[in-house]
A = this chain, B = another copy of it.
Amino acid sequence: MTDTQHAWIINHYAEGELKGTELEWVERPVPEPAEGEVLVKTLLLTLDPSNRVWLSEEEDYLPQLQIGDVMRGLVVGRVEASRHPGFAVGDHVFAALGWQEYALVQGDELSPAKGAVRFTPHPDIPLDAYVSALGLTGWTAYVGMKLIGQIKAGDQVLVSGAVGATGMMACQIARAAGARVVGIAGGAGKCELLVTELGMDGCIDYKASPDLAEAIAGQFPDGVDVFFDNVGGPMLDAALENMNIGGRLVISGAISQYQNYGDREALYGVKNTFMLASKRLRMEGFLVLDYLDRLEKILPEMEQWCLDGSLRYQNTEVQGLENAQDALPRLFSGDHVGKLVVRVA
């Protein structure tokens, strides 16, 4: 173990498209754990759409990051030193350690937003599953599809961003529940992957569908019961047009709009919200962190799906923390499949 480490700190807030100068690469000492603290080494760091939100000077569900703060990020790490009775050296944790090689955490909080959640990786499952299928991404898909979307066998399900990290999980969880699942993705290759590799019932290539609402109608002659939305904007509008009476719209994200935070003119206006009344729709956002008390039950169920092949994942891996800032725009360009992950150590 070395005495110094690297970290990305906030240099200036982001506005519009990322410039790649928002974060600064710095060297700093590895801290010593005080009584009750745990030193965790970052193994894998996930790049998430919420990173873009955290980089904005806007209120969010988490405290505003300040200039000079270490960039916030979710990681899977390993305990290197512990002065907390609940954690031993070598334990694995989920935590929001940020974009740095080592971090101190207070170990007694359940929420990875505040502390660390200890877990024992299943011996037959690779560790990188725990940043995607079995990490916050997979839990988000589970909570959204099962608890918010109330998915059931026979439901007609549409998923936007279907080859993205969360979308891919959402599709498979709906399929495992006996639903008919059609995704929306950008490009023939992604659609091919969704249908052929992941066995979904169909895929709409939005780049080849000038009228998306019509394309959805073509795939759903009986309408849509559940729309799991990662994208927002025009896709949400097109889905609203095709919802069945009593349908549920699970708002997992709105990645098409994140770069427009703070620029009201650039935000897309959703025209079909009036349909909520006429079609008795429920449209609901959620934060997976509110459901962490269910994790103990959810995780073994999801591990089982990984083992029996009904939950498959694919990560796009970037090597080295120093390359994290350059990789971030790939979240928004669609230039990756599944979860975008940085291997730190």
Contact = CB atoms under 8 A, between A and B. Distances in A.
A268 to B, nearest CB: 7
Interface string A273-312: 1111111111111110010000000000000000000000
A236 interface: yes
25 contacts: A53-B278, A61-B278, A61-B280, A232-B273, A232-B277, A251-B276, A251-B277, A254-B273, A254-B277, A258-B274, A264-B271, A267-B271, A267-B272, A268-B269, A269-B270, A269-B271, A270-B273, A276-B284, A276-B285, A277-B285, A277-B286, A278-B285, A279-B285, A282-B282, A283-B284
Classify the secondary structure of A's interface with B: mixed
Nearest to A251: B276
A268 B285 CA distance: 22
Contacts of A283: 273, 276, 282-284
Interface of A: 53, 60-61, 232, 236, 245, 251-254, 257-258, 264, 267-287, 290
A14 B251 CA distance: 34
Nearest to A49: B277
A164 to B, nearest CB: 14
A314 to B, nearest CB: 24
Contacts of A290: 280
User: 4 smallest A-B Cβ distances: which pairs?
Assistant: A269-B269, A276-B285, A254-B274, A277-B285
